[in-house]
Amino acid sequence: MTVCAATNNPGKLRELRRILERLGYTVKSLRELGIDLDPAETGATFAENAALKAAAFCAACGLPTVADDSGLCVAALGGAPGVYSARYAGTHGDDAANNRKLLAAMAAVPAGQRGASFVSAVCFRLPDGRALAVSGSCPGSIAFGETGHNGFGYDPLFVPDAVGVPGSEKTLPNTARRSYAELADAEKDAISHRGRALAKLAEELPAFLNRPQEGSIG
């Protein structure tokens, strides 16, 4: 199946393409489809924003569309930055500014109280209006400084509780306290919020596609 990866974020596109192609899909980017669209993310939840983006991009391209809305939820900050993760410092997609603001907000929070989770809501939308929503999360904590270069967004600050084992479904405790940005792709995809959401999508999609169209989302 050919699907549209509905994101303007280069880092997210690389991750979506890597995971979806591993699951057997042919992925087309917005650039490859000639789509220049940036729908407003006005939802109050990750799931609402994912659904908004999936509907807008699916209508624009006429292909099955996978949209993700994701973010970092920090316990000590009452769940912030949450749905505002990409624009936490004021400018959408300014990773460096977002990370600086997060470190400043967490400066007085001691080790042991820096728990956080990455959350991903994924919406798979068909041109006939049917949609499937799934989600995934990854628990971890916020580091005291940035480490690693293999990632984007808050990856250099997020330390997952576990890491994946390449070539296996096993996970291991992250005793070395490596950040998302220090993990190899396979180590991250096995435990990441987006990897887990897309794995659920792959599991649920066959049954979803075989359902009758009655009651479809308009």
List 38, 68, 69, 128, catalytic entry = 69
The string of DSSP letters for the chain reads -EEEE----HHHHHHHHHHHHHTT-EEE-TTTTT---------SSHHHHHHHHHHHHHHHH-S-EEEEEEEEEEGGGTT-BGGGGGGTTSSTT-HHHHHHHHHHHTTTPPTTS-EEEEEEEEEEE-TTS-EEEEEEEEEEEE-SS---SS--TTTTTEEESEEE-TTSS-EEE-TT---GGGS-HHHHHTTSHHHHHHHHHHHHHHHHHHS-STT---
Please say if 128 is a catalytic residue: no
- Residues with a catalytic annotation lie at 69
